[in-house]
Structure 1
Amino acid sequence: MKTAILAAVFAITAFISPAAMAEDTSGTLPINGLEMFYEIHGEGEPLVLLHGAYMANEVNWAGLIPTLAQEHQVIAVELQSHGRTTDRDTPITYDGMADDIAALLDALKIEKAAVFGYSMGGAAAIRLAIRHPEKVTRIVAASAGYIYNEEVMGADFMKMIDSITPEMFENTPFSAEFKRLNPHPENFPVLVEKLKELDKTPFDWSAEFAKIDVPSLYIYGDADVVPMDYIAKHHVAAGGIVNGDMNGLPKTQLLVLPGTSHIGVFFNPTNIEIMKLVVPGFLKQQLPAAPQMPS
C-alpha cells in the first residue's frame, strides 16, 4: 500500500499548475495561536477550500480555483502546519481545524460560506458544520466521512499509518512544497508525526452528523480507501436516498468517480474536468428540488 501511495504522489507533479493560482489577495492572520495563511480569488458567494493532509493550496486546488472563482469568492485556507501556516504546541485535530476555520471567517468578516474539502479537509468541513453550523451554507466533501475507524478503513490501512516516516516523502511534492513554503521548513518531521496521530485516532460523529441540515455533495472514487459499502451507508445517513421522481431531489448528493483511487480523486485530470461541471452546478442548485417529470 505504501508503494502504491508513493507512486501516486510522484504522479501529482504533472498536474500542478502554479501559474493558474495567482491570487487576488492573500495574507496571514493570527488565529488561535497560528499565523494562518489564506488567499482569496474571485467574487460572489463565499466558498472556503480545505486541502488534504500534507498538502498546500497549489498542490490540491490549482486545477479547480480558476473555475470556482468565476462565480464565487474563493477563500483557500492552509491548515495548521501546512503550507505557509505556522504550527502551535497542540496536536492537529478535527475540532481544532474546525475552530480555526470559524475564527478565520470571523477575522475576514465572512458571516457564512460554503465549504469544499478533500480527505482531511473534507472531514474538517464536516466537523465545521457540526461545531459551527451557523457558518456553513453547503458542504462539498471529497473522500471523507463521519466515521473513521479500523472497521471502515481496514486493519492493514491502520497498520500502514504507523509505518509512515518523513523519509517516505523525500522527492515528492508534499515534502518539497512544505520546505518551499513553510516558515519552519525543518519541521516537516513534526508535521508527519502529528498527522500520524490524527490518522490513528478513530472517530464516530454519527449522532452529530444526522443533525447537519445544509445541502451536501459527497465525492468518492470507486477505488477509494473508503469502501463502497461505507459510501452507501454514508449516503443513507446524510438523507440522500429517496425516489427523486416522486419526492424531489434531496439536499444530499453523491458523486462516485470511476476508475479512481483516493489520490486520483484530485490528481486525475479527467476528474478535475468532471468536478468543474458538477461542483458549480451543485453550489447554485436549489435543494431540495421538486419532482421533475418529462413534459
Structure 2
Amino acid sequence: MPLHTVRTSMRNLLAAGTVLIALATGASAQTDTASGVPLWKILPPTPVALSADANGLPVQSGHVRMDDGAKIYYAQAGEGEPVLLLHGGLANSDYMSGLARALLAAHYQVIVVDSRGHGRSSLGKTPIGYDRMADDAVAVLSHLKIERAAVVGWSDGGIQGIDLALRHPDRITRVFSFAPNITTDGVDTSAENTPTVKAFIARTKQEYRHLSPSPGRFGKFEASIEHMWSDQPNWTDAQVAAITTPMWIVDGDHDEMIHLPHIQHIAQVIPQAGLLILPNTSHFAFLQNPELFSETVINFLKLPTP
C-alpha cells in the first residue's frame, strides 16, 4: 500500500468513532531503502534530546519533586494544544523527541517526561508502578499549570495513558496508546531474544549511564522494572470497559513484544477506542517510520472531540 493510500485511509478515520483498520497488506513489503532490510527488523538511532533542538523554539526543562523524594524530569516547548509524550520501559524521553519535533512543526505544545527511575529522573522510595508513574505525569502537568493534555504513549507510556484514562480522566483529552498491554499475558516473553530487542536493551543500558543521576545503579533500576512487569498491569475487561476518554490503540504489524490479538482485544473492550495497525513496523515504529507515525498521531489529534 503506497504512503498516499495510507494517508487517505487516515483521513477517512477523522469522522469515525470506533474503527478497525489494518494497513499491513501491501505496505508490509516496503523495505529500508539503504540496506534492503525490512523496516521492522532495524533499530534506528535514538533521536537527539528535545532540550538540544526544539525547532528553534525555547525549551523549559526541570524536575518536579514528588512526595517520596523522586525527581521527575520534564521538558516543554511550543504553544497550542498541549500533548504529553510518555516513553517506554527502560528508555527515556529522547525516544519521543522525533515525534515532539513533528508536533512542534504542526504548532502543538509538547511536554516530554522521563518516567521515574528512567533517564534523568530519580527512582524515589516508592515501588515503581504504572499508577505511580501516571501520578508523576499529572504532577508535571500541574507544575506547568496545564489543566488537560492529550497523551501519546509508547509501550509502558501507552499503559500510563490507559491508567490516566482510568484514574485521571479530568486531566486528559484523548489517548494515543501505542503497543500497550492491559494484562501481563499480553507480552511475548520470547521478545528479549530477538536481535532488535537485544540491541534496544544494550542501548538503554548505555543511555542510563549517561543520563541518570545514579548511573551506577542500572541493575537496581532494571530489577525494579522487571518486578513491576511481573504482575502489572492487571486490569480486568470490566475496568477498562469503563473508560470514556477517546482513544486509539495502535501497534506495528511486526511487534516483537506484544501479541497482536491482545492489542485487538484492548480496542474491542474499550468503548471509545479505535484500532490501528501500522505496516512494516514493530514495537519501535516511531523510529522505523517516523513520518507515518507522526502523521498518524497528528491526524488523531485533529479528530473532533465527541
Common fold by TM > 0.5: yes
The CA distance in 1 between the partners of 2:86 and 2:295, in whole Å, is 19
Shift of 1:276: 1.7
Residues 1:11 and 1:18: Cα distance change in structure 2 (over 3 Å) = farther
Q: Is the 8 A contact 2:248 2:267 kept in 1?
A: no
The CA distance in 2 between the partners of 1:34 and 1:206, in whole Å, is 32
What percent identity do the matched residue pairs reach?
32
Residue 153 of structure 1 pairs with residue 171 of structure 2: no
The CA distance in 2 between the partners of 1:120 and 1:180, in whole Å, is 21
Q: How does 1:24-103 map to 2 (within 5 A)?
A: 24-32=59-67, 33-58=69-94, 60-69=95-104, 70-103=106-139
- Higher mean alpha-carbon deviation, 276-285 vs 112-121, is at 276-285
Residues 1:97 and 1:15: Cα distance change in structure 2 (over 3 Å) = closer
Aligned to 1:123: 159
2:117 alignment partner, SS class: coil
Residue 207 of structure 1 pairs with residue 225 of structure 2: no
Shift of 1:132: 1.0
Shift of 1:171: 8.9
2:126 alignment partner, SS class: coil
Query: TM-score, with normalisation over the residues of structure 1?
Result: 0.78
Residue 260 of structure 1 pairs with residue 281 of structure 2: yes
Shift of 1:278: 1.4
Aligned to 2:53: 22
Amino acid at match of 1:185: P
Q: Is the 8 A contact 1:216 1:253 kept in 2?
A: yes
Ranges in structure 2 where 5+ consecutive residues have no aligned partner: 1-38
Amino acid at match of 2:263: I
Aligned to 1:220: 251
Query: TM-score, with normalisation over the residues of structure 2?
Result: 0.76
Ranges in structure 1 where 5+ consecutive residues have no aligned partner: 1-7, 240-250, 289-295
Aligned to 1:275: 293
Shift of 1:280: 1.0
Q: Is the 8 A contact 1:13 1:173 kept in 2?
A: no
The CA distance in 2 between the partners of 1:118 and 1:213, in whole Å, is 20
The CA distance in 2 between the partners of 1:20 and 1:181, in whole Å, is 13
1:21-54 Cα offsets, whole Å, 9 max, x none, are: 5251111121232111100021111111111011
Aligned residues: 256
- Let me know the Cα RMSD of the aligned residues: 2.6
Amino acid at match of 1:226: I
Q: How does 1:148-187 map to 2 (within 5 A)?
A: 148-150=183-185, 152-153=186-187, 156-157=189-190, 172-187=202-217
